[in-house]
């Protein structure tokens, strides 16, 4: 909260994540979107730029979660031309300290949120990175291993050097630094590792030899001599990435860490959806049977694949984070199927997955509705009664994630 943008308005914040993609898909010109985010204009002028695209997109999960948030948090009946100015005034009042705690604790009833962190450093740029040194009353840190598996620049390499206290001069040094950072993250309080690399590569992590990985790693030094003000990019071959993720899974196995993996739809406009099919992870589930894998986003649109993976592998768990705003109906239908096919102790029914706090409330509201809708179907079928449905809902929304994530 302390690094929340104060030079903002309700459209700049609400369109920083998710719903902007629906507006672009509906035809919002990128230059108009840039104007909304980057330019100081009266809120009504900004609204005029988005209104035609907003009206045809407001029924998506992204749009509905925002209408719910403003109704429940600000007492305003949805986002429209008639409400945008009053909403913006109420929103600006929320920039005062305490809004995060009010939303997450008082309104959502969230005990603690899993916070993805990019750095182990205490001295860092909070506008760019989230540190593992976070408010533990609100958050549990989740260490992202992406830079260890898929470094993209010497800036990342140098940060890993600072975090590990090791100079990267060889492949052996990289492995030592990777292990040191995972060990440090665990000791500081992160029981979970996260891999979200399905945005940039396939989820198929094959076995590679150390020699193949080292040969690929040696290519990173090709840009070592570039000046510090230059981008200094790094491109690592698949053999290096595959070897490193297997190396990290060995550490997770030894330390009993949970591994979260992004599967299914990638946020943004366009990507290679086939890269994120959770079926591609099957070899890892087989090779690391003692590592618990938490698979994100119901694998949408591969939720039927997710059903089989969670049914067949004791170490695979379903995570419905993001899913309810991607498609409320798909989430309901998937949960109905999982009650039929998957033990209910293997499902976490909600994760906020928003970059701004008001969206978390709207998303959780949809998640509660979706869980209720799915369990109502089972009550009406006579599978169990209302009291049992309530106990299952508690499993899905509280007991399961608390157990799965070692909280």
pLDDT at position 134 is: 87
pLDDT at position 128 is: 65
pLDDT at position 228 is: 79
How far is the C-alpha of 11 from the C-alpha of 49, rounded, in Å? 11
pLDDT at position 364 is: 98
Bridge-based pairing of strands 113-117 and 316-319 is unpaired
pLDDT at position 229 is: 80
Which tens digits make up the pLDDT trace of 184-200? 999 999 999 999 999 99
pLDDT at position 234 is: 87
* Residue 229: exposure state from Cβ atoms within 10 A (0-12, 13-18, ≥19): exposed
**Residue (of 137, 145, 143, 146) closest to 113 by Cα position:** 137
Whole-structure pTM value: 0.94
How far is the C-alpha of 50 from the C-alpha of 200, rounded, in Å? 30
pLDDT at position 124 is: 65
Q: Is residue 66 a contact partner of residue 20, using CB atoms and an 8 Å limit?
A: no
Q: Which ranges of the chain have pLDDT less than 50?
A: none
pLDDT at position 300 is: 97
Number of H helices, E strands in the chain: 19, 7
């Amino acid at each position: 909260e302390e690094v929340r943008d104060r030079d903002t308005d309700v459209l700049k914040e609400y369109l920083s994540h998710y719903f902007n993609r629906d507006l672009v898909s509906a035809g919002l010109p990128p230059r108009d979107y840039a104007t909304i985010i980057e330019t100081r204009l009266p809120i009504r002028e900004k609204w005029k730029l988005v209104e035609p695209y907003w009206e045809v997109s407001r029924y998506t999960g992204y749009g509905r979660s925002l209408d719910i948030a403003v109704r429940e948090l600000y007492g305003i009946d949805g986002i429209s031309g008639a409400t945008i100015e009053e909403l913006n005034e109420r929103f600006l009042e929320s920039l005062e300290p305490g809004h995060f705690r009010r939303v997450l604790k008082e309104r959502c009833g969230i005990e603690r949120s899993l916070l993805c962190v990019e750095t182990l450093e205490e001295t860092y740029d909070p506008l760019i990175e989230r540190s593992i040194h976070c408010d533990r009353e609100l958050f549990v840190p989740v260490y992202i291993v992406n830079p260890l598996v898929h470094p993209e620049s010497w800036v990342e390499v140098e940060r890993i050097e600072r975090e590990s206290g090791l100079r990267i001069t060889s492949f052996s040094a990289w492995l030592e630094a990777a292990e040191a950072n995972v060990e440090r993250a665990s000791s500081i309080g992160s029981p979970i590792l996260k891999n979200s690399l399905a945005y940039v590569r396939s989820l198929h992590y094959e076995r590679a030899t150390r020699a193949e990985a080292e040969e690929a790693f040696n290519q990173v030094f090709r840009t070592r001599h570039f000046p510090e003000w230059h981008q200094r990019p790094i491109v690592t071959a698949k053999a290096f990435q595959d070897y490193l993720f297997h190396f990290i899974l060995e550490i997770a196995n030894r330390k009993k860490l949970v591994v979260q993996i992004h599967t299914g739809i990638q946020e943004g406009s366009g990507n290679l959806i086939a890269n994120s099919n959770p079926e591609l992870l099957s070899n890892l589930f087989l090779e690391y049977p003692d590592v618990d894998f938490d698979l994100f986003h119901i694998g949408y649109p591969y939720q039927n694949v997710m059903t089989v993976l969670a049914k067949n592998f004791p170490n695979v768990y379903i995570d419905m984070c993001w899913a309810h705003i991607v498609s409320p109906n798909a989430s309901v239908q998937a949960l109905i199927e999982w009650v039929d096919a998957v033990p209910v102790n293997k499902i976490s029914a909600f994760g906020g997955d928003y970059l701004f706090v008001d969206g978390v409330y709207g998303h959780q509201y949809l998640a509660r509705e979706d869980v209720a809708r799915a369990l109502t179907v089972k009550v009406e079928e006579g599978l169990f009664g209302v009291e049992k449905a309530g106990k299952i809902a508690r499993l899905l929304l509280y007991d399961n994630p608390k157990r799965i994530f070692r909280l």
